[in-house]
């Protein structure tokens, strides 16, 4: 079970994001180097809470009680790799059963994972956390994590941070490859190894 008392003492922050808390809670500062005005509109969330992969790594080292969710598909999580400190893979969107092609993106089309909210609830129950606990959500480059953060915000979660550069990072316009930023490009701890605790199991089964 996770302790509900979080204390973060992080150095070198460019900005500090402190969400609104209940009257009986103590503000928990998260060091963030993200400037929202400089963030692409497609990555801006309703809660306005963001971290880079590097910010997230520092925060998780200072406080392992933070819930860390990778919202990519199961194949991405397994074969591309994932942050070693992730608590669970809970896909925000999944590849459709009919494997239709998204012509614009030149990849298989994704559809919403209707079990996402329930799977997050189950994870929080397992970890002894609540909707007011600090949650980091990450994807490939910060787009699905934005959607996941907004969905959770609509469901009453109050401290959901989107990892704006994700695991692989943004694409280099010159090559089309994700080499600019992100967890893996920053040389942060990552792995291919899948554990039972991190594996996604749909609540529908």
Element at 135 (helix H, strand E)? strand 135-138
Q: How confident is the model at residue 205 (pLDDT cuts 50, 70, 90)?
A: low
> Which region among 4-13, 23-32, 45-54, 192-201 has the lowest average model confidence (pLDDT)?
4-13
First to last CA, the chain: 25
Element at 16 (helix H, strand E)? strand 15-17
Domains for the chain: give ranges and CATH numbers: 59-191 (3.40.250.10)
Burial track 78-95 (b if 16+ CB lie within 10 A, e otherwise): bebbbbebbbbbbbbbbb
**pLDDT(26) > 70:** no
**pLDDT(102) > 90:** no
Calpha distance 34→11 (Å, rounded):
15
Calpha distance 93→153 (Å, rounded):
17
> Encoding tokens for residue 151?
């969905």
Report the share of the chain in percent with pLDDT over 70: 86
Residues in CB range of 80: below 8 A, 6 or more apart = 72, 140, 167, 168
Calpha distance 100→143 (Å, rounded):
21
**pLDDT(6) > 60:** no
pLDDT for residue 87:
98
């Amino acid at each position: 079970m996770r302790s509900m008392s979080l204390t973060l003492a992080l150095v070198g922050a460019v900005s500090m994001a402190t969400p609104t808390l209940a009257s009986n809670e103590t503000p928990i500062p998260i060091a963030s180097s993200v400037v929202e005005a400089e963030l692409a509109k497609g990555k801006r969330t309703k809660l306005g809470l963001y971290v880079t992969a590097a910010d997230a790594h520092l925060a998780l080292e200072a406080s392992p009680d933070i819930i860390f969710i990778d919202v990519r598909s199961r194949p991405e999580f397994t074969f591309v790799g994932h942050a070693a400190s992730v608590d669970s893979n809970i896909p925000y969107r999944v590849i459709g059963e009919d494997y239709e092609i998204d012509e614009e993106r030149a990849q298989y089309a994704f559809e919403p994972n209707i079990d996402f909210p329930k799977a997050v609830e189950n994870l929080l129950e397992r970890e002894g956390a609540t909707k007011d606990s600090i949650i980091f959500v990450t994807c490939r480059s910060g787009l699905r994590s934005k959607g996941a953060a907004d969905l959770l915000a609509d469901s009453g979660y109050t401290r959901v941070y989107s990892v704006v550069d994700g695991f692989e990072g943004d694409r280099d316009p010159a090559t089309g490859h994700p080499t600019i930023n992100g967890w893996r490009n920053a040389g942060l701890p990552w792995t291919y190894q899948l554990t039972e605790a991190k594996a996604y199991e749909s609540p529908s089964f």
